[in-house]
Amino acid sequence: MKYVKLGKSGMDVSRICLGCMSFGKPGQENGVFPWAKDYDGAKEIFREAVEQGINYFDTANVYQNGTSEEITGRLIRDFGLDRDEIVVATKVHFAMREGKPNGAGLSRKNIMTEIDHSLKRLGLDYVDLYQIHRLDHDTPMEEIMEALHDVVKSGKARYIGASTMFAWEFERLNQIAERHGWTKFVSMQNQYNLIYREEEREMMPLCADRGIAVVPWSPLAGGRTAHPWGTVTARNSVDRVSPMVWGSTDAQDRPVVDRLEKVAANLSYSMAQVSLAWMLSKPYVTAPIVGATSPVHIKEAVSAIDITLSSETIKELEALYVPHIKTGVF
């Protein structure tokens, strides 16, 4: 395993992050993730990640309605991991108490409530990275940043990060923090993969310029860039989320995936390996967040670290991409 700094922070993270959205009670999050793995199913995936040297684990309060955090925390304890050497990240924003007036968002009230709930579920005294899952447009930016700063100063989080927003919003949030002397974001968790590269326009250059870590979610586009087009898997046969995120761009995406299949075959690698090797070739990418439903997925992901693609191959993979409308992610 290789390790890199998380942006300008002094914290070291593995080059691959284990995404724990696939852990938790199946279907608990409004029934949308019936393929999630309970403790027994998650255990072997987690074991492989640890044996491969992964020290960076990402979850969220909303994943499987909190049961992802519960299982992730239990696995950390059961495997006897050194808390000083691992990096645990979680997120806040989406509704945890449906229909309740303060059950979601980024108000000071909800941030302070949810960090405590997350720590209780994880069984930890602090998280290393506390991230806003989306931007709450109904709460003043100053309130959001001061509350996150206070979470850090209380010792409940070491750093803060953000996910999926427009570049101008991200920059404005950090400028507010800088003006007040509050804690600034050290990372951006945004969608980035071979079939969704819109972030190359503004967010990636911004992060590169500011020294902010990029930790992409869905680096394999929910498996769409891991298999030949049309492949039916145990996950996508019941997945209700992926069609909402990528279903409207099938006509644009299939040529990219077909090209990827051809390139991978010519290189004698799997499509997942080539997809991740392409991403890891980007200097602004810190650590892709790889979700897994099998230990094999972890082995594939880690092996991609040592694959170097030629500039010609990278151009071939990128050549058929066309601009996308930002749908389903903001």
Give buried/exposed letters for 148-179 (b at 16+ CB in 10 A, else e).
bbbbbeeebbbbbbbbbbebeebbebbebbee
Known catalytic residue: 63?
yes
Active-site residue identified among 3, 39, 63, 159: 63
DSSP state of 124: -
CA nearest to 272, candidates 220, 197, 218, 315: 220
Residue-wise DSSP of 58-96: E--TTGGGGHHHHHHHHHHHHTT--TTT-EEEEEE-S-S
Residue-wise DSSP of 163-201: ES--HHHHHHHHHHHHHHTPPPEEEEE-B-BTTB-GGGT
The partner residues of 185 in beta bridges, in order of sequence, read 160
Residue-wise DSSP of 262-294: HHHHHHTS-HHHHHHHHHHTSTTB---EEE-SS
Backbone angles phi, psi at 279, to 5 degrees: -65, -45
Q: Which residue type does 314 have?
A: I
Give the Cα separation of 15 and 276 in Å (integer): 11
Are 46 and 326 in contact by the 8 Å Cβ rule? The answer is no
Give the alpha-carbon dihedral of 26, 279, 3, 168, to 10 degrees: -90
Q: Which residues are catalytic?
A: 63
